[in-house]
Amino acid sequence: MAKSDLSKLVRLIPSPQAWVGTVLQDFETFLQDHASAEKKASGMALSMASHYPDRLDLVNAMVDLAVEELNHYREVMRILLGRKIVPSADRKDAYVTQMNKQVRKDAGYFLLDRLLVAGIIERRGAERFGLVAEHITDQALKKFYAAITASEERHWQLFVELAWQHCPAEEIQPRFNQLAAYENHLVSTLPVTASLH
Ligand SMILES: [Fe+2]
Ligand SMILES: [Fe+2]
């Protein structure tokens, strides 16, 4: 599966219709959660880099990603602080917890599952930031969320490309589709709140 074959991977179902309205109605809470999500994404990239020191392209990609996510964190924090919003404590993210539970622990699957779960989480993020960009009226925020969307879109593709480079080719598409089906079920059952997940 070459880069151009990413289109063969199953698409995620759209987020529940109520999601974007719920977010826009309580945008302060969303911003607080968004800041936490970026910070955690940066930490996740660093933990991937630490876990696979001998896979140099992966380390390189994860170090770049950690910096990029930390830049997103800084940008969201500037928006929060500019609005005199007090950042919130990190909350437990049921969606991410459940997705991470899908990672099989045996060595033969661990990296594949970590990369694909990360890719699916990023893909959902891209979809949701895209909805915010589409529906928000504030022009500065619209521009900001469009840029975030483009960046998260690249990230999900990066994780799948890394899976392609480091894992058996024939396992990627079936496992991605299996995890995507699980994710689809998860987003349709979790409560809709003014948060990223
Ligand atoms: Fe990000
Ligand atoms: Fe990301």
Q: Would you kindly state where each structural domain of the chain is located, as residue ranges?
A: 20-86+94-189
Ligand 2 center from residue 157 Cα (angstroms)? 10
pLDDT mean over 16-27: 97
**What residue ranges in 38-168 does DSSP mark as E strands?**
none
- Model pLDDT, residue 8: 83
Neighbours of 152 (CB within 10 A): 23
Ligand 1 center to 181 CA (angstroms): 23
Q: What angle do CA 106, 183, 64 make, to 5 degrees?
A: 70
C-alpha–C-alpha distance, residues 66 and 90, integer Å = 18
Neighbours of ion ligand 1 (CB under 5 A): 38, 69, 72
Cα separation, 168 vs 166, whole angstroms: 7
CA 133 – CA 88 distance, rounded (Å)? 23
Please report the pLDDT score of residue 3 as a whole number: 52
User: Which numbered ligand comes closest to the C-alpha of 35?
Assistant: 1
How far are the Cα atoms of 37, 51, 170 from residue 110, in angstroms, in the given order?
A: 23, 11, 16
On the CB side of 8, CA atoms within 13 Å amount to 10
- Pair of tokens at residue 179: 């995890």
pLDDT for res 2:
53
Say what the pLDDT of residue 121 is.
98
What is the assigned CATH class of domain 20-86+94-189? mainly alpha
pLDDT category of residue 4 using cuts at 50, 70 and 90:
very low
Output the CA 101–ligand 1 centroid distance in Å.
Answer: 22
CA distance 169 to 150: 26
∠162-100-127 over CA atoms, to 5°? 70
Chain position carrying tokens 């694909």: 116
Query: What residue ranges in 39-195 does DSSP mark as E strands?
Result: none
Measured in Å, residue 62 CA sits from the centre of ligand 2 at 11
Q: How many angstroms is it from 188 CA to the middle of ligand 2?
A: 22
Is 81 strand, coil or helix? helix
- How far does residue 80's CA lie from ligand 2's centre (Å)? 19
Tell me, in angstroms, the distance from the centre of ligand 1 to residue 34's CA.
Answer: 9
Mean pLDDT over 33-57 rounds to 96
Ligand 1 centroid to 29 CA: how many Å? 17
In this prediction, residue 91 has a pLDDT band, given cuts at 50, 70 and 90, of confident
The H or E element that residue 40 is part of is: helix 27-51
Cα 78 to ligand 1 centroid, rounded to whole Å: 15
DSSP state of 4: G
Q: How far is the CA of 106 from the centre of ligand 2 (A)?
A: 26
Residue pair 112/163 in contact by the 8 Å Cβ criterion: yes
